[in-house]
A and B are shown apart, each in its own frame.
Chain A
Amino acid sequence: MFDLETAIADWKKSLTAREAFSTDDIAELESHLRDQVSSLISVVLSEEEVFHIAQRRVGQPSELNAEFAKEPTSSRWIYRGKWMCIGILALLFVRFAGALAYGIVAMGGSLTTDDPRTVTIIYNWMAIATSWSVVLVGLFIVLRHDALIDRILQGIVQIPKPILIGLPIAAITSLSVLIMFNMLMTVSQGEHAILLSFYAYYISSPSLFLLAVFVLHRCEQRRALA
């Protein structure tokens, strides 16, 4: 016995198996297929016949995949890659905010332990815990809520590019300067090695983020030209 809902669900599954479609694309194509089905429904044709005609008109999954692959923003992996970059950015903010709060507390003198190394160890473990939780929660969201990401990214695309790129860079730079100043105040003059390693860490993270954005952007451009 033919069931229209099952047939549509199977059809959607065959689209999901291909990588060119985002969840939003599939929802759009489904709405199209349903419109096509309702316009064909008549006394002469059965629901099954109507479904097959509608499916043929919308296009075979392989043909659709080829068409959708021409438009790089539809690709789920470009979306995910961008989302991961946003995740890295969020992670950086969490780290910076943590370091800043720690610096302020340390400078205020309200953090007193006999051994300053204990404080560093606690801080480092806390930093590791927060970074892991941010990454894991981010991955969970990316893999489970495709439609949500599509919507958020579509919103982000609307923001003018200078603001989109400039604002995070400005925020990271100003925070870095603040933290560097903080560390210069707290770390004693002799410990240049510690200072250097901290400095390298804070420089490398934003650089990595920018590199990732650049590479993704180039990939997108190359796909758009291909």
Chain B
Amino acid sequence: MSDISKDLIAASSRPLVLSILAEGESYGYAIIQEVRERSGGQLEWTDGMLYPVLHRLQRNGLITSKWKTADTGRKRKYYRLNTKGKKALATERQQWFAVHETLAQFWGPDPCLT
């Protein structure tokens, strides 16, 4: 499969970050690893792209951040989803499902090769 377009990656970054943080607080590096793992390597985020997304979510009041020191002594900035963020995630979920359902009507269910 060809690489997922830049626009689609940018559009999906917000719901993805919110979904990851809904599972518990996390920091930039771990979030990128999580995206790579969960997408089976199909979603390749450039590292620098993530932080502006996180900062925007924070400015919009959906997530909060805190510097913490890990056991190794290294400082990391942890992000956490708040109540407003949870509501925003629910809205995102509805919208993405609406798009998905509409497309599925045209394309039918996923082809099964086996």
Residues on A close to B: CB < 8 A?
24-25, 27-29, 31-32, 34-36, 57-59, 63-64, 67-68, 70-71, 73-74, 154, 157-158
Contacts and interface: CB of A to CB of B under 8 A. Distances in A.
Interface string B35-70: 000000000001111011001101101001101000
Nearest to A65: B48
B77 interface: yes
Contacts of A28: 28, 51, 77
Contacts of A71: 52, 55-56, 59
Contacts of A64: 48
A32 B50 CA distance: 11
B51 A31 contact: no
Contacts of A158: 61, 64
Nearest to B29: A35
Contacts of B49: 67
A32 B58 CA distance: 18
Contacts of B87: none
Contact of B51 (A34, A35, A63, A68): A68
Contacts of B59: 71, 73, 157
B18 to A, nearest CB: 16
Nearest to A67: B48
